[in-house]
Amino acid sequence: GLANKLQETLKKLRGSGKLSEKDVKEAMREVKMALLEADVNFKVVKDFIAKVTERAVGHEVMESLTPGQQVIKIVNDELTQLMGSTQSKIVFSPKPPTIIMMVGLQGAGKTTTCGKLALNLKKQGKNPLLVACDIYRPAAIKQLNVVANQVEVDFFTIGDKAKPVDICKAAVEHAVKSGNDVLIIDTAGRLHINEELMDELIEIKENIKPTEIMLVVDSMTGQDAVNVAESFNEKLGLDGIILTKLDGDTRGGSALSIKAVTGKPIKFAGMGEKMTDLEPFYPDRMASRILGMGDVLSLIEKAQASIDEKKARELEKKIRTQQFTFEDFLDQLQQMKNMGPLSQIVDMIPGMNASKLKGMEIDDKELIKVEAIINSMTKKERLDPSIINGSRRKRIAMGSGTTIQDVNRVIKNFEQTRKMMKQFADMEKGIKKGKKKL
């Protein structure tokens, strides 16, 4: 994937001391190839490389002590810039209800994302109403109804005989009466963009004046996703984009091109089929993830959703100050069950990805072993692993029904992970402050 390619190229720079202009240009050629292979829009790649090269061959970089790392920082900066710099949030109407109109082609993930978004907004204290406007696809209304029940939010339909625009008008009236402060409208898609679809959407837009028109687009379709976004934006005008199926998008090209081509921000990313699999889109974190530096903050946020906020903040602090102990680790193992599939979590840990773990025995059975080993430690040992000497290791192995080798491995892995987490947390902080250290 793109992450691996870029990592390889940039690793060569990371190691070297002084850089020549030739070194930088060569690296940029490889970055360019990696981006094109990832299906990033050609013009976007050209502009990107020009910008990075211009900054990277400057005196400041070439004459600094760590030119390679400076170049990597520039690549990271520009990737972030490309995707919109800062996180773009949903805009709520100052005069409720807020109307969010979901548009997109058939199969993009509109109906699913309506449910995910409703859940997200519900967690923010909103009272959303899901509105069924796909009157063409058999069972589309039923599908939205099921989704609404799943996330326990209100649902509105008047069947498939009314016109979509009339359904919307009735839904707004209903929302006002029943105290729904957000409407999420699930519109019909088509296999391809056509006039009939656009006319229908334009009619809804003109009549109910949505607060946000949100395009739902399938990231796995690469360049097509970008073209679809461009067309919708020209004909309808968009306020934001939700990129779905990013969990299955191995290339990442659409995430990188779509903002640059349309000028419209990606507001959320769909990361799976479950209702909880929607994440706010953070350009800086996405850039770090593409560069393979892991994503400490996303990991923490994921934890936050299942643990409480205060606990997560403590955890973040502990990681930064390297006070993360076995006690915390055990806590994390237990919380993990609520956090989703292991592979997804592992992807977010710096320096790790699921593919790297293939062939290693980190499966759920391994986790049970790790848990047993930590459980056999005394509290004192958990808080200060440095006291775990030979005889203690033997006792722990006996107690957990494992071997001393198992115990050694867990302790060693833990120490390494802790160090790595700290490094990456520092790095992330460094990038944010624009420090030279990367």
* DSSP label at residue 248: G
Asked whether the beta carbons of 271 and 246 are under 8 A apart, the reply is yes
Rounded to whole angstroms, the Cα distance separating 407 from 413 reads 10
- At 263, list the tokens: 């000028």
109 is an annotated ligand-binding site residue:
yes
Amino acid occupying residue 331:
D
**Binder of ligand GDP out of 272, 283, 294, 350 (CB under 6 A):** 272
Contact partners, residue 169, CB within 8 Å, separation at least 6 = 207, 208
> Which parts of 357-386 interact with ligand GDP (CB under 6 A)?
none
- Residue 318: φ, ψ to 5°: -65, -40
Q: Name the 3-class secondary structure at 212.
A: strand
Residue 140 Cβ, how far from Mg ion at the closest point, in Å?
A: 5
- At 264, list the tokens: 């419209």
106 is an annotated ligand-binding site residue:
yes
Contact partners, residue 24, CB within 8 Å, separation at least 6 = 53, 56, 57, 62, 71
Q: Does 292 bind ligand GDP (CB under 6 A)?
A: no
**Binder of ligand GDP out of 66, 76, 98, 111 (CB under 6 A):** 111
The residue nearest Mg ion at its CB is 111
Q: Does 247 bind ligand GDP (CB under 6 A)?
A: yes
Asked whether the beta carbons of 35 and 83 are under 8 A apart, the reply is no
Label the pairing between strands 266-270 and 278-280: antiparallel
CA distances from 12 to 8, 78, 365, 411 (A): 7, 19, 37, 31
Contact partners, residue 423, CB within 8 Å, separation at least 6 = 350
Q: Does 343 bind ligand GDP (CB under 6 A)?
A: no
Choosing among ligand GDP, Mg ion, none, which partner's interface includes residue 259 (Cβ < 5 to 8 Å by kind)? none
From 60-68, 271-279, 303-311, 333-341, span contacting ligand GDP (CB under 6 A): 271-279
Q: Which residues pair with 98 in a beta bridge?
A: 182
142 is an annotated ligand-binding site residue:
no
65 is an annotated ligand-binding site residue:
no
Q: Which residues pair with 63 in a beta bridge?
A: none
Query: By rule CB under 6 A, what string of x and - marks binding of each residue 181-210 to ligand GDP?
Result: --------x---------------------
Choosing among Mg ion, ligand GDP, none, which partner's interface includes residue 292 (Cβ < 5 to 8 Å by kind)? none
Give the binding-site size for ligand GDP (rule: CB under 6 A). Answer: 18
425 Cα distance to chain centroid: 18
**Binder of ligand GDP out of 5, 32, 73, 110 (CB under 6 A):** 110
Residue 216 Cβ, how far from Mg ion at the closest point, in Å?
A: 9
Choosing among Mg ion, ligand GDP, none, which partner's interface includes residue 106 (Cβ < 5 to 8 Å by kind)? ligand GDP
Rounded to whole angstroms, the Cα distance separating 189 from 438 reads 45
Q: Hunting for tokens 């199969």 — which residue is that?
A: 107
Choosing among Mg ion, ligand GDP, none, which partner's interface includes residue 247 (Cβ < 5 to 8 Å by kind)? ligand GDP
Choosing among Mg ion, ligand GDP, none, which partner's interface includes residue 84 (Cβ < 5 to 8 Å by kind)? none
From 75-83, 245-253, 343-351, 417-425, span contacting ligand GDP (CB under 6 A): 245-253
Amino acid occupying residue 4:
N
Complex with ligand GDP: residue 141 or 296, whichever CB lies closer: 141
Closest to 390 measured CA to CA, from 401, 405, 371: 405
308 is an annotated ligand-binding site residue:
no
Q: Does 112 bind ligand GDP (CB under 6 A)?
A: yes
Complex with ligand GDP: residue 269 or 397, whichever CB lies closer: 269
Choosing among Mg ion, ligand GDP, none, which partner's interface includes residue 97 (Cβ < 5 to 8 Å by kind)? none
Q: Name the 3-class secondary structure at 308.
A: coil
**Binder of ligand GDP out of 58, 179, 248, 263 (CB under 6 A):** 248
Asked whether the beta carbons of 117 and 250 are under 8 A apart, the reply is no
43 is an annotated ligand-binding site residue:
no
**Binder of Mg ion out of 70, 76, 98, 111 (CB under 5 A):** 111
Choosing among ligand GDP, Mg ion, none, which partner's interface includes residue 32 (Cβ < 5 to 8 Å by kind)? none
Residues that bind Mg ion (CB under 5 A): 110-111
Binding residue positions for GTP = 104-111, 186-190, 244-247
The footprint of ligand GDP (CB under 6 A) covers 104, 106-112, 189, 244-245, 247-248, 270-273, 277
